[in-house]
Amino acid sequence: MNKSDFGEHFYWGVSTAAYQIEGAHNLDGKGPSIWDDFTHKKRKIRNNQHGDIACDYYHKFSSDIKLISDLNIKNYRFSIAWSRILPNGYGQVNQKGIDFYNRIIDACSEHNIIPWITLYHWDLPLALERKGGWTNRKIIHWFSEFAQVCVKQFSDRVSNWMVLNEPMVFTGAGYFLGIHAPGKRGINSFLQAVHHAALCQGIGFNILKSYNNKLNVGSTFSCSQIEANSLNLNDIKAAQRVDALLNRLFIEPSLGMGYPVQDLKWLKRIESCFGANDEKLMQADFDFIGIQNYTREVVKYSFFTPFMQAAIIPASKRNVPYTQMNWEVYPPSIYKILHQFKKYHKVKSIIVTENGAAFPDRMINKQIDDENRILYLKNYLHQVLKAKQEGVKVEGYFVWTLFDNFEWAEGYLPKFGLVHCNHQTQERIIKASGKWLRDFLNQNVLFMV
């Protein structure tokens, strides 16, 4: 396997998210986000950690973007912090926030790096959450204003856009399980958040394209390969329900197929959230779909699990290799997910907008020889290539992530980065995996898998 096997026009990139790296949580007019609030509440985050400073990217972005260039990475996906642009979520624009992202785009241009913007990567302005956040239908108008401001300010130099990052995760973890910001629980808040996010996904796409039809616009979806624990019919049906929830809930409404209520009977309740013309508003003729796959999940029937009657069997209990996130290392999962999404005939193109692994790295003499991460990347890339050679129109691969950053509820424990970041000194050290990727992208070197 070498770089040329993927084709001349394949997008090689790295992805980051604003709250996880920027820091500067209250500088230069930025308003608080739900994650600023959530992380300051005791016992919400591992070791009570937060992203107030994170990787201090707000002050170090220039040298960090040069570092991306040094790694021979030509595409950089980053998100816009909504409350840095609109501190109250709508209304007055913070010019210093606009200036910051313009400087990032300028730095990308200086180093011949193509910027890819994610509009929403989970950091809702706190002022909007106090009005109900994603459970309030007014978010359609708030998000529309945010999208309009961003496309007017940045689309003269940014052609590639993503509307939402993993809506299943921020609605499920934030509005049903309560383990992510804003910490809400319950089926009603979840269904409201899901429907409003699906509407914003479609509306956001149309705002971007109506401003400039030549923009390359997609959205990203968290996808796990789902397998039944056995050939027992109850396990098989349980796996179908989990697949409908985790992999189909947001892609199918955008394609005009509606919600997967046939496999999730309780999802019919979402119809109470509908307004006139909502089915059409959810639809989006995306230029590409962003797939974010890390693992597979094995599912068994569980009578006592509310709504789903299904339970995921943790990787740690299945005698399989797994990462710091307790996610199974299973490279064929990305191959199977790519083929699964290929079956949607309206999907024009697929880009792997996130893939990577967290392992407990060890530093010896300022060196981090993370061979397990290198092996992970090699094996997953091999499966991406296999799918591409079989006709899946996969056109890019972005590593998650550039730095060891703030990993949401898990704090700073999981290390996903190609680059180590010391969060006390802010020193950056390129890991062996970063050097491997640099060499892979620099020349057509053959890497055995």
Q: Which of 166, 227, 297, 407 is catalytic?
A: 166
d(CA 306, CA 364): 47
Which run of H or E residues covers position 449?
A: none
Q: For strands 160-165 and 310-313, give the pairing.
A: unpaired
Q: For strands 350-354 and 394-400, give the pairing.
A: parallel
d(CA 393, CA 283): 21
Which run of H or E residues covers position 143?
A: helix 139-154
d(CA 319, CA 323): 13
Q: Which of 129, 227, 328, 354 is catalytic?
A: 354
> Helix, strand or coil for residue 189?
helix
d(CA 77, CA 280): 29
Determine whether 271 is an active site residue. Answer: no
Partners of residue 403 on adjacent β-strands: 419
Determine whether 166 is an active site residue. Answer: yes
d(CA 395, CA 280): 28
d(CA 222, CA 334): 11
For the four alpha carbons of 372, 314, 387 and 341, in that order, the dihedral sign comes to negative
d(CA 270, CA 259): 9
How far apart, in Å, are the Cα atoms of 265 and each of 172, 181, 223, 241, 268?
17, 27, 21, 9, 6
Nearest to 281 by CA among 208, 217, 171, 200: 200
Nearest to 197 by CA among 299, 294, 284: 284
Q: Return the active site residues.
A: 166, 354
